[in-house]
Amino acid sequence: MTKQTIIKVEGMHCNSCEMLITDELNETLGVKSSSASHEKGLVNVEYDEEDITLEKIKEVIRGEGYDAR
């Protein structure tokens, strides 16, 4: 089942931060699409909850050095 969520992310400062997060998420199994806004501090993620959990998505973001809540 496909779900969509918005994750608050701290530590994004520029377009490169957005691209780093979205590129990593979009390469992650179960993530259908993602978009980030450093200005808003948010990441919008569409994912298949049968393949990946919300917590795992947050772990991917944290793995890139950002604080995902």
CATH fold group of domain 2-68: Alpha-Beta Plaits (3.30.70)
> Is 52 in contact with 37 (CB distance < 8 Å)?
no
Percent of the chain with pLDDT over 70: 100
Q: What is the pLDDT of residues 35-46, one digit of tens each?
A: 999 999 999 999
Low-confidence ranges of the chain (pLDDT < 50): none
Gap between the Cα atoms of 38 and 53, Å rounded: 23
57: helix, strand or coil:
helix
- Residue 6: per-residue pLDDT: 98
Q: How far is CA 10 from CA 24, 32, 55, 61, 66, in A?
A: 16, 22, 16, 10, 6
* Domain parsing of the chain, residue ranges: 2-68
The pTM assigned to this predicted structure is 0.94
